[in-house]
């Protein structure tokens, strides 16, 4: 058989077959790369959504933690107040004690301090204050000594302060006191 086609035409046919194969390979690679890019884009979107959801959950947990911190701080404050109240609530009838102080204090005496020290069995009451006359301070001591549950009262300090023509006396009266206790249910 004789080949009547010129050599260039023969080569062109071979090149066109190779060109078709190369084009098909190029299209296949482009499709794979496009599918990969689309997959990466979808994965990136999914990761963004997951990250956003996780951040929302994290923010919610932080809010709860901060709310719990506030509750813990409030609980600690309340606990501290309860301990303080328990410390000062010792079974004494404080209204009766304050009534005693008001009863024994003459009109022209101003109390500046009321202090208790010691235990309930040997309680020491200390009244401090000021007055314009010594007689009122002595009357306070005598009235305190005549009260039930109070004994061995004495004036421990008495100082005269003079400002211009005005005399003023500061004092401290101390006495042993058996504090009345509250009855349960009252």
Render pLDDT for 73-95 as a digit per residue (tens, 0 to 9).
Answer: 889 999 998 888 777 666 666 78
In terms of pLDDT, which residue wins out, 38 or 1? 38
CATH code of domain 94-177? 3.30.70.2830
Phi first, then psi, for residue 179 (nearest 5°) are -65, 135
Per-domain residue ranges of the chain: 1-89, 94-177
Determine what percent of the chain is predicted with pLDDT higher than 70: 82
Across the strands, what pairs with 117?
124
Question: How far is 115 from 137, CA to CA, in rounded Å?
Answer: 17
Phi first, then psi, for residue 168 (nearest 5°) are -145, 140
pLDDT digits (tens, 9 = 90+) for 117-168: 776 666 788 999 999 999 999 999 999 888 877 878 899 999 999 888 888 9
**Token match 């006191």: residue?**
177
pLDDT digits (tens, 9 = 90+) for 47-62: 999 999 999 999 999 9
């Amino acid at each position: 058989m004789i080949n009547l086609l010129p050599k260039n035409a023969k080569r062109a046919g071979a090149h066109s077959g190779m060109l078709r194969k190369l084009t098909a390979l190029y299209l296949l690679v482009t499709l794979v790369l496009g599918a990969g890019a689309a997959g990466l884009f979808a994965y990136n979107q999914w990761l963004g959504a997951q990250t956003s959801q996780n951040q929302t959950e994290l923010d919610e947990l932080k809010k709860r933690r901060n709310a719990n911190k506030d509750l813990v701080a409030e609980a600690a404050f309340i606990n501290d107040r309860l301990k303080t109240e328990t410390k000062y609530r010792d079974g004494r009838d404080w209204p009766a004690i304050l009534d005693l102080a008001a009863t024994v204090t003459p009109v022209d005496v101003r109390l500046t301090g009321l202090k208790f020290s010691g235990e309930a069995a040997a309680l020491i009451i200390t009244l401090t204050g000021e007055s314009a006359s010594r007689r009122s301070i002595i009357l306070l001591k005598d009235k305190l000594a005549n009260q039930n549950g109070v004994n061995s009262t004495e004036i421990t300090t008495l100082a005269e302060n003079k400002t211009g023509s005005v005399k003023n006396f500061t004092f401290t009266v101390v006495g042993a006191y058996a504090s009345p206790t509250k009855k349960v249910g009252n």
